[in-house]
Structure 1
Amino acid sequence: MEAMREIELKGHIIDSFLLPKVFDKVMDMNGEFEIIQFDIGRQKTDTSYARLMIKGRDQDHLENIISELHRLGAQLPEAEDVVTETAIKDRVVPKGFYSTTNHPTYVKINGEWKKVENQKMDAMIVITDDHALCTTIGHIKKGDRVVVGKKGIRVIPPERPRGHSIFEFMDSQVSSERPSQSLIKQIAEEILEVKQDGGKIVIVAGPAVVHTGGQQALAELIRNGYVDVLLAGNALAVHDIEYNLYGTSLGMDLNTVELAPEGHKHHIYAISEICRAGSIKDAVEQGILTGGIMYECIKNNVPFVLAGSIRDDGPLPDVITDTMKAQDMMRKAIQDADIVLMMSTMLHSIATGNCLPSTVRTICVDINPATVTKLMDRGSAQAIGIVTDVGTFLPWLAEELALLKKQKAQGK
């Protein structure tokens, strides 16, 4: 028997492509839709409104369609309170639990809409008194009130950026061109503006930053106060330290681009020297480590999270080998981030992206187009992707930031 239900779409539903996305999704799932009401905003800043009747071949089919449309940002016209069920064991969620998106989400509790805190994708919503919190399954405790179904939940997809912004210029797409001076300048302007407003910038970086010669540029950014948190793995720190101690990365002399004698041992030597000192901080204080990315983090009190993996050599004593602990520390470190710059590390970038709300401005840089596309597929409207060599990107960005800072100091 055919089943029907109304949905509402509100906001900039045309230029954000929400309306055509809804149409496409309904048709892809072999459903039908009927436009009941459609009010179009007249000015650029005006919002629009649409009420649609969605039809499925039966109730289960309809619920599947509504579930997908809800994740896109569709709302159910009724305004009932959110529904919860109690977790019967640690890390066991009630059947029919609501799985979150990375978009800002609100739930109705006792007749009032409350914003869900610590928004992230693929989590559950736990209600405590009149608060709602995104909670991953590993942190669900027996007795938690977990949201189930879709009643009393509103998802608000971010609107397309308006005004002069690099994110509007790039239209949230992957650029397959090498970065131009204009593009790098606009990214530098965004970073400088965020820092002047007291905002927070997070860097996610892989070892290619060192391999390609971008180490000194990233160290300069940290030294000049443009980095508030560094997220990486064992490899970035090891090869950064290897370069500082031996002038090589993966045993290759970055000046002559030739393998150094016995160079294949250098990264192991680097790990050993830091272990001998006790930690990266101890190595800096003892004068063993005198430059580079990790050195500047220590000297400038920039917190870092080094999340380990099964393939790590060593690892360094600062590396967190407990995956769940590393996740928690990453989530804490990126709270309230304004810009996240991800460079040449697919796994750490995806991990970070999964912890971020879609409103955070994100820049993904990698030489591999597939990596950038995968990162962009998070669905954030506030993300851009750049396909280029990070060894070219970072020095150019550092140069533009220095130039902009000098111009502002001169009043230009």
Structure 2
Amino acid sequence: MKFEIPKFREPDFNQDFLKNAPNCTLEQCPEDGISPENYHALSVYPEYFKINGKWVLATESRMDTVAVAIDEEGKEKVNIVEFRNLKKGDKVVIGRTENAEEGIYMWTKGFESVDSNEDNFAFRSGRSRETAFSIDYDNLYELLKHEKANGGYITWVIGSAVALDKNARDAFEGLVKKGFVDAVFCGNNTAAIDLENGVYGSTWGQDIFVKEQNTNNNIYETINLARSYGSMKAFMGSGKVEDGFIKALYDRDIPVVISCSIRDRLPLPEAYTDVYKAQDAMRAHTRKSSTIIMLSAILFTIASGNMTPSYNKFNGEIRPVYLYTVDIQEFAVNKLADRGTLTATSIVTNTQDFLRNVNRSLE
């Protein structure tokens, strides 16, 4: 069956409560990074704002942001802005209700079928322990094929499990080479482990990896070597790195956002050590991502999910943004939904099996 993106259905703006609603209230920011009181905080659902008598949809709506309105006649628009990025004079939407009485309307049925017996897309869908979860894999395969064929943007958020296992590492490298990866987020350690393998053929200093040891053999040698070339691109061009997904990404100019944590002792070149700069770099990709797949990286997963809209405008059409969370622990995959992202499909399995299945099925 051909994969189809669910169609977005707007509210009926001829309903009296929408037609007679007032314009939303706007108030200017007094200083950079300071919002007016009673600001309207956004959610992951589609929200409309009435400006100059027109209902305007805020695309890219995401958790814990504010709506900044442009109310010029004929150019009505709503920008979604983080509090720290507000500028003095920005016109912030004021109001805490979402039923149109303050010119703000949350629309939760945009992707529901008109026929209530059909459920093409839902923010939450029921599951049981008897459910055949293989359907999630089948849907994902079709989705990824659709994204690649139609100019979608697939972002992967990966943890160190991808680099620690040879089969997982090879499978992800294969997905990069096949064109199913448009951007990657990972930690400094994940990238360094992959690069160590590419330079020395070892993982945590072990030629045959058994388990993580308290040894830094080769990994800091690898980071030092990378730093000696001044940039990751130059390091890849040196011929020192023979294989791996990091090399495949840089060879194809696919963006990689590498972020350090407070535990990292030595960053790779271009790895972000400033959390806000890392956040901005990640958001530049989540804002245009149509699908995000998150593998065994719980903190990166929560961060990425919270800065990703549940819907967005692509090629002039509103469509859902698909999120997949994959982890061996049920707690980990459910964590994102608990934090307010409602469009995530969770798959409880180990990353190695997941990547091998996906890579093999996308031959």
TM (norm. structure 1) is 0.72
Tell me: CA distance 1:169–1:81, structure 2 relative to 1, closer, same or farther (3 Å): closer
Give secondary structure in 2 for the equivalent of 1:115: strand
Q: Deviations over 1:193-235 (max 9, x none)?
A: 1211121111111112112341111111011100011111212
306-315 or 132-141, which deviates more: 306-315
Give the partner amino acid of 2:255: P
After superposing the two structures, state which structure 1 stretch, 167-176 or 393-402, moved more: 167-176
Alignment of 1:195-214 (within 5 A): 195-213=148-166, 214=168
Q: Using a 3 Å threshold, how does the CA distance of structure 1 residues 312 and 385 change in structure 2: closer, same or farther? A: same
CA 1:314–1:47 in 2, change beyond 3 Å: closer, same or farther? closer
2:281 & 2:10 partners in 1: Cα distance?
A: 39
Give the Å deviation of 1:168.
Answer: 5.8
Give the aligned partner of residue 300 of structure 1. Answer: 252
User: Which residue of 1 is the match for residue 79 of structure 2?
Assistant: 133
Structure 1: runs of 5+ lacking an equivalent: 1-44, 50-74, 403-412
Q: Following TM superposition, by how much is the alpha carbon of 1:377 offset from its aligned partner in structure 2, in angstroms?
A: 2.5
2:275 maps to 1:323: yes
Q: Distance in 2 between matches of 1:177 and 1:242?
A: 42
Residue 364 of structure 1 deviates from its aligned partner by 0.2
Match of 1:265, SS state, is coil
**Of the candidates 45, 59, 65, which is equivalent to residue 123 of structure 1?**
65
Name the residue aligned to 2:5.
none
Distance 1:147 1:258, change over 3 A: closer
Residues 267 and 123 of structure 1: CA distance in aligned 2, closer, same or farther (over 3 Å): same
Which residue is 2:262 aligned to?
310
Cross-structure match for 1:237 = 191
Write out aligned runs for 1:3-402 (5 A).
78-129=20-71, 130-149=76-95, 150=97, 151-157=102-108, 172=125, 183-213=136-166, 214-253=168-207, 255=208, 257=210, 263-359=215-311, 360-402=321-363
Residue identity opposite 1:140 in structure 2: L
Give 1:161 deviation, angstroms: 6.6
Quick check: 2:9–2:110 contact (8 Å CA) kept in 1? no
Contact 1:121 1:355 in 2 (8 A): yes
CA, structure 1 residues 167+347, in 2 after alignment: closer, same or farther (shift >3 Å)?
farther
Identity of aligned residues (%): 31
Q: Deviations over 1:143-185 (max 9, x none)?
A: 111111141112222656769x998699646787999665433
C-alpha change, 1:106 and 1:266, in structure 2 (3 Å) is same
Alignment gaps of 5+ in structure 2: 1-7, 312-320
Structure number with bigger Rg: 1
Aligned-pair distance for 1:265?
2.3
Contact 2:306 2:340 in 1 (8 A): no
Structure 1 distance, partners of 2:266, 2:340, is 36
Higher relative contact order (CA 8 A, sep 6+): 2
More helix by share: 1
Counterpart Cα distance in 2 of 1:48 and 1:166 = 18
**What's the TM-score, normalizing by structure 2?**
0.82
What is the root-mean-square deviation in Å for CA atoms of aligned residues? 3.1
For 1:144, give the aligned amino acid.
D
C-alpha separation between the residues in 2 aligned to 1:174 and 1:221? 29
